[in-house]
Amino acid sequence: MNPPSQALLAQAHEAPIECEEFPADQVVTGAPRAGWLPLTTIDGLEVGLWEMTPGVVIDTEADEVFCILSGSGTVEFLDPSAPALPLRAGTLVRLQAGWHTRWTVTQTIRKIAVTPGEDPKK
């Protein structure tokens, strides 16, 4: 059994995440970058940190539950259509696979996410 990693959890805001550019067909404005840092797997669910720098992208979502740790922006649900959701520290969101979204990040967002083992930035 592995010991708890309180040091890692305490540094969630500072843990280095390697970010890459989004594919050009996803970028609406700016030059946003995103990265994923896997932390652990629990019963087939992957838990990790995701970060996106300022800009606007469109995406097709995977199943995911996340909580914003820092940053700000909005996520718009295009299909199914729903009002834009403000993103800020403490916002908790459930995404469903196949939903089409538009992410507008005004201040670099960092979130902790739980997924069924898929890379949530794709």
Residue pLDDT, tens place only, 63-106: 999 999 999 999 999 987 788 999 999 999 999 999 999 999 99
CA distances from 27 to 9, 14, 33, 90 (A): 31, 26, 10, 26
**CATH label of the domain that carries residue 90:** 2.60.120.10
pLDDT score, position 27: 97
Domain tally, the chain: 1
Q: Which residue has the higher pLDDT, 1 or 34?
A: 34
Does residue 49 sit within a domain? yes
Does residue 86 sit within a domain? yes
Distance CA 74, CA 72 (A): 7
**Residue-number span of the structural domain to which 83 is assigned:** 33-115
Does residue 105 sit within a domain? yes
Does residue 19 sit within a domain? no
Helices (H), the chain: 6-10
Best CA proximity match to 57, nearest among 99, 101, 17, 108: 101
